Structure 1
Amino acid sequence: MNTKKIKLQIKKLAKEFDLKYNPKWFNYMWISKREEILTEYIGDCPDPIYIKYGRTINERIKNIDKFVNSKDFKKCIKRYGGQVTHKKNWKKEEKLFKKIKNIELRIELLRLHDKIKQRFEKIDCLALMTKTKIKKEYDWLMKYCLRHEWIHILLNKNKIHFQDINKKYWPYDEGLNEYLAMFLEKKLHRLEEFRKKEKYPMEHKNWVYAIKFRSLLKNAKTPKERKQEILNLMKRLK
């Protein structure tokens, strides 16, 4: 799937959920699998494999050498996927990278950060996607992963971000994202099937929360009603 088709899908979602949409919001950049894992690790990604090395960002930075030299890291860099980075977090992230004592790692991440900064001259959020030469991985990244990250951007631009209320609410953000993707594909009736198939705890929870959103929105018939139900949920969680 090319980016034009994905943008059309995002535009359709915006219409179905009464959300603002601007095609200029949606951009992406390729990074290495190593860069993807390191930036996720130093960020606040709640993946259990990262939490082993620290529940706080400062703890993770302190233990970054231990992580990079671990079997966990070797497993992680076989992954492929994406994430969203925001211009508003750039200075904060730069300060975090400068705390890394390992000079080579620090320079590596600061160089990446400078590349991202250049993109932020014209935009304020960006999907980061892992480079790959494997066709199967590339096809999945361009068909599903990029759409997933762009859905996050759409929601963020419309001030729908549960982690702004509390970081522990990340499953709501991911669950809503999966719900919206399946709404597009007309597969909401298969959510339990996807939940059952997913064995990785963090990803499994995404489907659990997608099912919650299906229940929440089952009686919402119009775009405005769908959006209002989501906003009402955010108010209840504050």
Structure 2
Amino acid sequence: MADVARSHGGDGGNEPPNRNSKRIRTGCESSQPKKTRGKANNKKLYIKFRNNKNQPLPVEISIRGGQYKFVGVNAQDIIRMISNEVARVAPFYHRTWQRVPDETTRDIYTTIYQYFDLVSFEDTSEWPGVQLGIQAECQRSYKARKSKYKSHYNTYEDVETAKNNPSDDFASEPERWIEIIDRLYQDPGYINQCEKKTDKIEQNCAIQLPGHTNPIEGFKSSHWKEDTGWVNETASLDHVYSFYSGKDSSRSSKDGT
């Protein structure tokens, strides 16, 4: 049985978590979501927010098996906003979301507080779960986008060409794309990590089920089921990585990425 915690839809918050001194903008100070890159543009959220008299929208958190997830009519709106905010402010040259600076998280919370009623959860037993839910969505978005950017990078034969062809998400900010390449993809430690990951994938792909001549498909068959999907998120990302590595093995052999 899942417990569901609900906010009532309040009048805006004044402070993000940890009582940061930067004041949160309330609905009367700003009535339209900030512009974010990508195809998602939050138009649906803006209409909901306006219809709610520019007041933060109520949110619901489902607690099941120690996991906290947003549910209810506004669930997809807050998840989409978190994803857009991660794309807008997060530096993607860190290897994991856990290494992203705290100020990035505070910036994301600033926007969430403006459009969603988190205040109702503060000073309640549900507040830690709400924070965990937000962090989980941030981490999920960060990891998915990093995988997307690495796949884009791997389509080019050399570093300079890759720098001159940023991912669509960085079309208006190519310097952010170059920073990812310089600080992450060209980092010797990261390259070594990728080489070890490639070796592990090749070992896994070598274990094929009968009837499969394609090692990537063999890996999928042993780690993915039609009724339940991937056995875990790592297996899913490994399959994506091995797919793109297989398409461009010449690049992998050159720079180990």
Greater helix content: 1
Q: Same fold (TM over 0.5)?
A: no
